[in-house]
Amino acid sequence: MKLLIFSVISAVSIGQAGAALTLVIDTSTKTATWSGIATSGVITSPQFALLKIAVGTAPTNNPTAANPAVTTTDSALSVTIDSNIASGPGASPGENPGRLHVDPGDDSLQILVAEILDFTGGGQTTVELSGDGVAYSYLQLEPNQVATFEGLDGTELRFRNGNDLAGADYGSAGFISVVPEPGSAALLGLGFATLLLRRRR
């Protein structure tokens, strides 16, 4: 069972945004691997409004909503939060961080990574994500979710406000890479089929 590592740091200085996170989806082994590090842009919190920060591929999917298309699997992500919020619960990894939400309805992937609640308002927070480079099976997903998941090659991941369907954006988090590439896999399959036909003759 994968254990997610979280740390919360109270600080006045806020880090700069950076994007170097990669999610590699291997369709031959049915595994997903997170690597690299990405940091969100500065998230300025409104007063008394709960922000659920997510990393995802589309702004239209709410990772906190009850949705029968949502299933979980290991994410292998560590979350580090840098925040100067002075009052209220502040910023934390939140409930069920790291859960993958794959929704075939809008071909999206969302991962809830942090929650922010600022009683005063105006606090600033950044969220840093890092992958552990370990391959984890995604066979917990339903077949239609697997098809969606494996179809995200080249899709950008962005930091978003997950409970805002307007899709408040806090910068790029990286990209998804599917291997082998769909075209390469098709060519390999064709080559294998041709070889079998020649042997039968």
pLDDT in tens, 46-72: 999 888 898 888 765 555 554 555 666
Cis check for the bond before 97: say yes or no (omega within 30 of 0): no
Is the predicted pLDDT of residue 201 greater than 50, yes or no? Answer: yes
Is the predicted pLDDT of residue 15 greater than 50, yes or no? Answer: no
Q: What b/e readout covers 181-200, taking b as 16+ CB neighbours within 10 angstroms?
A: eeeeeeeeeeeeeeeeeeee
* pLDDT band, residue 166 (cuts 50/70/90): low
Listed ranges 56-70, 82-96, 124-138, 183-197; the one with the highest mean pLDDT: 124-138
Helix (H, G, I), strand (E, B) or coil at 106: coil
Question: How far is 37 from 54, CA to CA, in rounded Å?
Answer: 15
Q: What is the mean pLDDT of residues 97-124?
A: 86
Q: What is the mean pLDDT of residues 175-198?
A: 63
pLDDT digits (tens, 9 = 90+) for 109-122: 888 889 999 999 99
Query: 36-40, 134-138, 176-180: lowest mean pLDDT where?
Result: 134-138
pTM: 0.77
